[in-house]
Every structure is written in C-alpha cells, then in structure tokens.
Structure 1
Amino acid sequence: MDMSTQAIKSLQIGMHWFPERAGGLDRMYHTLVCALPGAGVTVRGVVAGSERVAADTEGAIRGFGPAAQSLPRRLLAARRALRASLSRERPDVVSSHFALYTFPGLDVTRGIPQVSHFQGPWADESQVEGADSIGQRTKRMLEQRVYARSSRLIVLSEAFGEILQARYAIPAERIRVVPGCVDVSQFNLPLSRADARRRLQLPQDRPVVLAVRRLVRRMGLEDLIEAMKRVKARQPDVLLLIAGKGRLAEELQARITEAGLDDNVRLLGFVPDRHLAALYRAADVSIVPTVALEGFGLITVESLASGTPVLVTPVGGLPEAVAPLSANLVLPSTGVDAIADGLIGALNGSLKLPTEQECRIYARENFDTPVIAKRVAAVYSEAIEVGLVH
C-alpha cells in the first residue's frame, strides 16, 4: 500500500480489517483505502483488529483491538486510537465507514470535515436479523449523531440515498451516490469455465448456479432453496453452490434435505478470497435473491468482473448496479416463482444474458477501483471546501 504524501490527508474509520475478518463492508473499506492514494488521498485509519493491521499497511491503518472483546472496551479503544492518530497528524477529512466506532470520537474529531460512507441502515439490518428493539434504538441514535456531523454522505445507490432522507432526515443536497468498488483485475482470471471447474474439482457436465451470501434472514436464501425444487424439475442435474457462513447454516441444510435437494444444493461455508474469483468463473450464472435492505450488492460486480452474469431481485440498489448492462438481469419480483423462472430461463437460454466479455467490460468501466477512488476523492474535496466556507 503506497501511503506517500498526497493532496488530501484522510482518517478512515472502518469496522474490521478484511484479511482478518470477511464481510462486504470490510471488503469495500479495504479495497477503497488501498486505491485512494492513487486518487491523491493519503490514508490513515483505525479498525477493530490485531497488530497485523499495522504490519500490513506500514502503520497507515491500526487495529485498536479484537472485535471479540466487550463493546465498552471496544468503544474506549476506538476513542483512544482516534485520539492517538490525531496527535500524530491532523487530517483534512475524517471518513467514517462504521458509525459505531466513529461515535466515541466525535468530540475528538470536532472541527474536522467529516464524510460518512453509508453502506446500509445498521439499525434496520439488525432488526431484520433479529436484534431486540432497545438495541435497535441505540444503534439508530448512534447513526443519527454520526450522520448529523457529516457535511457529505456517500451512498452506494439512489435507493440508500432515499433511506438516508426518510429515516435519518439527511437533506438531499448533502448526499452523493458513489457505488462500491472492486479490484477488477483480481476477478479477471485467465481461466475458461472448464479450467475453473477443474481447479475447484466441480463437475464439468452440470449447470452450476452460485450464490455468495451471508447466511442470515434478509438474504432470501430460503426462497432460493424453495425455488430450486422447480428448477430441478426442469434441469435435474442443476447444482446450486451457496458460499458463505452465518447463523442459518443448520436451518438451511435442513431445508435442503427436506426438499430432497441434497444432490443439487451445497452449502460451501466460507470461501477464502483466493478461491472466490475461480468460483464465480466456474458458475454459469450467479443469483442474488435478497428480500430486504441491499444497498449495492458488491457480489454483483465481483461476478460480472469474473465474466459471469448475475440475476438480482428488485431490492434496494441491486437494479441500479446491473440494469444499465441488461434489464434481463433484474428479476420482476422477489420470491420463489420469480427466482425459479429467472434461473430456468438463464439455464435453458430463453432469457438472454450478457456475454462474458460484456460483463467484464461493464465492471471495469463502472466499478474498478481507480474509477471509484477518483469519485470518492472528489466528495472529500467537496466536504473540505464546505468546511473552509463555514
């Protein structure tokens, strides 16, 4: 990571360090902070993590302790880390990617222009996934305080911009839409589909569908498994691979067995980053069956960068991510029937999908790290100018 002196000095507050803990927010934070120096932004940052974080980044990003420690200890540690970072160097802009770890340092960072990267309504996501109402209200309060401090807020889609306005009363003039970024070269493997399947020991003669998802409620995996009964009736040898981990693993496996799909649906668990690109490449089509609160869907771009078309439900920012490439990638609705019809059409050829080359070009031109880093840097510059005026 090149952290030489640049035009804008930023302090990036993240959640976890992606090499230590996988997650969509963590992946986007990691990818962005690695790309920003190329767009004229010096990066310093803090995350929940070990001493390895500083070693990975030559001290630019520092871990303030493990995410497993108690919440009060984490908040105190985050505050200390922010204070220590500011004592070393005052940034031009504070960039918040996670409200929880930004909140305890709001007094410490007072007077510095702040930009919040809004990657989803944290409180609402927690409620959908089963959090209690007191916890949800507390999370909403923390978010509200952090977003109110921010002169600019970056959202991944117009859909999430509307949530910021409706749920958090953020004026539209402070919101900027910048989609998530992907290191396209990482997913642009020089492998044919057959080569990728050989590498991963997957069957060559079966249609393969891939879903990369956390195994939690709002991801729509229950609908996807139910839909596979209809898909199997039309394509008896179809194979659905679900990559990811989460609290629903046992329940989903029980659903698979009960539906008689043990030969057609496999739960892969967590797939290491080094195998993910080949997994996308091995699939005939990817599917994102989300039922609620999807701001962007980084996996859509990862799949496209790998040359594999991806079907999405019309939820949140998912249509915005793929519709400019092809309207056929957006299912007409959520639910079992729409998913089944879409997969059947994709696998039998009746639903026209973009080619491998079209998928790759679209991902590179619209979501590659240098493209998005420049757009983020422009928002930082805007926030700094607003701060100077005021």
Structure 2
Amino acid sequence: MTTRSIKSLQIGMHWFPERAGGLDRMYYSLIGALPGAGVEVRGVVAGSARVAQDTNGVIQGFGSAAQSLPLRLMAARRALRREIREQRPDVISSHFALYTFPGLDAMRGIPQVSHFQGPWADESHVEGADSLGQRAKRYLEQTVYARSSRLIVLSDAFGRILTSRYGIPADRVRVVPGCVNVDQFNLPLTQNEARLRLQLPLGRPIVLAVRRLVRRMGLEDLIDAVKVVKRRNPDVLLLIAGKGRLQQELQQRIDDAGLGDNVKLLGFVPDEHLAALYRAANISVVPTVALEGFGLITVESLASGTPVLVTPVGGLPEAVAGLSQDLVLPSTGADAIAEGLGKALDGTIRLPDPDACRAYARANFDNPVIAKRVAAVYNEAIQAAA
C-alpha cells in the first residue's frame, strides 16, 4: 500500500473508445482505477484530439494509428518529451514498447515499469509477419524491457517467456492479472432476457467465442468441434464475435462443413452489446492454440455470469482454475474442444453457476483489486531507484 500519491505517465497503444482491443481495454480500465489506489495518471496513446477532450487532458492522443509508422514514432517522441518536461513523473509505465522506445532518452533517471501483455514479435510471426519485421519488433521490445526495473506480467506463463526469451531476471518480474469492470458486465438480465434483447433464439444452446479472427486464436478448431457436437446437439449455435483477416476463410470453412445454421460470424460487436451477448450464452470458449498471456475475455465472461472453457495455453488455465479445474480443456484441437463442449452442454461437467462466476471475477479481477496490486509494483520500482 502506498503512503503518498504516485505521479505516473502511462504509455498505451490505442484509446479504447476509438479502437477496440484487449490491451487497449485493459489500459483504459486500469487508468480509470489507478487514482483510487493512490496513483495520479497522465498518459499518451495513438489517438485523435478527442482523447484529450474526453479525458480533460489527462490522456493525450498523439495522432491517428492510421498514420505511417515514422510519423507515429516522431509524434510519440514529441508527446513523451512534452509530458515529462511539463510534469516529471515518479514512474513511467509502458504498456506498448513501440511507442515507449522513441522517448527512452528523455526517460533517463525515471523509474520504468513495463506491462508485458504478450511477446509482440512472436505474435506477429504467428500471424504471418515477415522475419525482418519480427526482428525489428524484438529489438524494440528487448530495449524497452531492459530499461525497466520492474515488469508486470499477466500470468506465470508469460513470466517464463520474459525470463527465457528476453533474458529478464526473474526478480524483476511481478505477476498481476488483467482487470475488468465487473459492474459493467454484471447486467440485471436473465439469459432469456438477454437473448430477447439481442434477438437470439430462446430454446437453443448457445456457445460464444469473442476473438480476433487471426490464426493463433484456434477458431478453425472450434468450428470443426461444432461439427462433432452437432451430432448429439443438432440445435447447438456457435456465435463468433470479432473481426480480422480470416473472416472469409472461416466463413468458407463453415459453408463447406454444412454448418450455416450452427455457426454465425457476428463481426465486431459494440461494447454496449457485449455484456448482453456474454449473458445470452450458455458457455463461452477460448480455443487459443498459441501465445495467450491471460485472455481478458475469460474474465469478461465470468463477470457476466457465464462460465468459460479454455485450452491449456499460456495463462488461460491460471485465469479460471481457481474457480473450477473442469473449465480447463485437456489439450488444444477440435477433438478436445468437442468433448469439453459436449460434456458441458449435457451436464456431465458441473459448470459454476452465474453467482459463482461473478463472485470469482469480482474477488480476483475487478478494477480496484488489480489497481492496488499495480500501485504496489510502481511503489516498489520507485523505492528501488531511491
């Protein structure tokens, strides 16, 4: 617990209301909760002038993410130097290495904490980036992390990646899971009321996956699993919310398997409808095959009262095992997902009820809970530099 207010400069990626993503949502949630834990917040992100207007100048957008990379990096550098000059922070908190790197020279002498939300270079490689781009990203990450006296990871699994792949000493790594505004997802709706609001069928078992449509998310396996589950549950309905480069490929997979009535690609679902969508489902699934540090969607689903099955990848088991080990599938792949879904839908697996899901999310991942833990790491970094 801190004894005085900490002045922090928070370097994010995008401004969540303008561009949705897991990292952006966590940044947005955290900066809203940190003042309650004794941490003053100022920040910079890639975003429009409206960011400053919407936050009363607390967060500055240094330009659109659609700008060329050199322009963005120069704009990030100017913004960082200006913020440090106008109000020197006690700690600099980096959530995205790319926009931190241009300002490293101006940060000398200020304690730095990096929020490691995934191996950016490795994720890009899995999703098809060229090797030169991957090496450049790895260099940026390595340089920023080396300058950080403390690094916050979302799970033990990602802590091991930091130590093994980036050579970061384990004594500088702290595990703090992601945060979510539990009240935002805890809607006063029954499952049927949520379905009526979203015009979804009342009598069918609904499975939900909220994912970017990219390769490492395992959506191909999930679609193949539904083909198996359909044999015993012909009315099963899988809803996939999200957008990405695999949309056409996944739709073709659905059509080729004759699953047009059982699998629907919803595209991007606005934030105001997301909580109701979770609530409408019988169960959520996170079928990731690689590089999942935490999976914020697991906590969002639980906060909505909907249990979630996860593959045993990265930090996913850590996010749900404290609630029920039955929520962790034995392996990745269509067969394991189909077996787990089948048991969940026919009652062979006893799923946590909505109240248990919500209580677990509130106790372990609610914004104020996580903000206090992050503040303690910031204070630790400041004390180490004193």
Q: TM-score, normalised by structure 1?
A: 0.98
Q: Pick from 90, 93, 106 the counterpart of residue 92 of structure 1.
A: 90
SS of residue matched to 1:107: helix
The residue aligned with 2:15 is 17
Aligned amino acid, residue 274 of structure 1? E
1:251 aligns with 2:249: yes
1:146 aligns with 2:144: yes
The residue aligned with 1:75 is 73
**2 CA distance for matches of 1:52 and 1:156?**
30
Aligned amino acid, residue 241 of structure 1? L
SS of residue matched to 1:90: coil
Unaligned runs of 5+ in 2: none
How many residue pairs were aligned?
383
**1 CA distance for matches of 2:168 and 2:84?**
27
1:323 aligns with 2:313: no
The residue aligned with 1:350 is 348
**2 CA distance for matches of 1:374 and 1:131?**
37
In the TM superposition, residue 86 of structure 1 has moved relative to its aligned partner by 1.2
Matches within 5 A, 1:125-140: 125-140=123-138
In the TM superposition, residue 175 of structure 1 has moved relative to its aligned partner by 0.1
**1 CA distance for matches of 2:299 and 2:43?**
26
The residue aligned with 1:292 is 290
**2 CA distance for matches of 1:115 and 1:17?**
20
Deviations, residues 131-165 of structure 1 (Å, cap 9, x unaligned): 00000000000000000000000000000000000
Task: Give identity over the alignment, percent.
Answer: 78
Deviations, residues 206-260 of structure 1 (Å, cap 9, x unaligned): 0000000000000000000011100111100110000000000000000000000
The residue aligned with 1:311 is 309
The residue aligned with 2:64 is 66
Q: Which stretches of structure 1, 4 residues or longer, exceed 6 Å deviation after superposition?
A: none
Aligned amino acid, residue 220 of structure 1? G
Matches within 5 A, 1:371-382: 371-382=369-380
Deviations, residues 151-200 of structure 1 (Å, cap 9, x unaligned): 00000000000000000000000000000000000000000000000000
In the TM superposition, residue 87 of structure 1 has moved relative to its aligned partner by 1.7
In the TM superposition, residue 53 of structure 1 has moved relative to its aligned partner by 0.6
Q: Pick from 368, 371, 383 the counterpart of residue 370 of structure 1.
A: 368
Aligned amino acid, residue 89 of structure 2? P
The residue aligned with 2:167 is 169
In the TM superposition, residue 351 of structure 1 has moved relative to its aligned partner by 1.1
**2 CA distance for matches of 1:56 and 1:96?**
22
Unaligned runs of 5+ in 1: 1-5
**1 CA distance for matches of 2:368 and 2:79?**
29
SS of residue matched to 2:125: helix
Deviations, residues 306-346 of structure 1 (Å, cap 9, x unaligned): 00000000000000000010000000000010000011111
SS of residue matched to 1:308: coil
The residue aligned with 1:120 is 118
In the TM superposition, residue 272 of structure 1 has moved relative to its aligned partner by 0.3
In the TM superposition, residue 92 of structure 1 has moved relative to its aligned partner by 0.1
**1 CA distance for matches of 2:322 and 2:183?**
21
Deviations, residues 9-67 of structure 1 (Å, cap 9, x unaligned): 00000000000000000000000001000000000000000011101110000000000
The residue aligned with 1:334 is 332
Deviations, residues 52-95 of structure 1 (Å, cap 9, x unaligned): 11011100000000000000000000000001111210000000
Coordinate RMSD, CA, aligned = 0.5
